[in-house]
Copies of this chain bind each other. A is one copy, B any other.
Amino acid sequence: MESMPFNVMDHNCPSRVVLQRIGDKWTPLIFQALKGGARRFGEIRQTVDGVSPKVLTQSLRALERDGLVTREVFAEVPVRVEYALTALGESLLEPLDAVRIWAEAHAARILAARDAYDESSLRAEELTTA
């Protein structure tokens, strides 16, 4: 019985914690990188583009902590470390993709709205200043 034990609107609702993991700056990117199977640290770092090693480690650890990603260390020289989505992580892929696709589809419109908004509030400011 795992369905609906929590409600987002509750004060300290656990699902809010989960939502914030998802909304994390790098989480969607990492999920994209891991979509096709296990990847090495360096591969992820290149794919994600621009993330510092510290921050990438932080994000991956957080994901591992939540049981969404596994971390496997191979005792070779040089060391090889592979990350992969768990079953739970895979199950998140679908709803996450829904949001990502929406975002990709509407990003242009949103950025345009943002520009228009900034421009009009800029004009308003000029009026009060004058």
Note all chain B residues with C-beta closer than 8 A to A91: 102, 106
Give the Cβ gap from A30 to chain B, nearest Cβ, in Å: 11
- Bits for A33-58, please: 1 = Cβ < 8 Å to B, else 0: 10000000000000111100000000
CA distance A32 to B15 in the complex (A): 13
Interface of A is mostly: helix
CA distance A27 to B110 in the complex (A): 15
Copies per assembly: 2
Chain A positions near chain B (C-beta within 8 angstroms) = 2-11, 13-25, 27-29, 32-33, 47-50, 64-68, 88, 91-92, 94-96, 98-111, 113-114, 117-118
Note all chain B residues with C-beta closer than 8 A to A103: 8, 15, 18-19, 22
Note all chain B residues with C-beta closer than 8 A to A22: 23, 99, 103
Does A113 lie within 8 Å of B8, measured CB to CB?
Answer: no
CA distance A117 to B109 in the complex (A): 42
Given contacts A9-B47, A18-B103, 10 further A-B contacts (CB under 8 A): A2-B108, A6-B107, A9-B48, A15-B107, A19-B100, A20-B25, A66-B114, A67-B117, A88-B106, A94-B98
**Can you list 19 A-B pairs with a CB-CB distance of less than 8 A?**
A3-B104, A6-B104, A7-B104, A8-B29, A8-B100, A13-B107, A14-B110, A15-B100, A16-B28, A18-B103, A18-B110, A23-B23, A23-B24, A66-B114, A88-B109, A92-B102, A95-B95, A95-B99, A98-B98
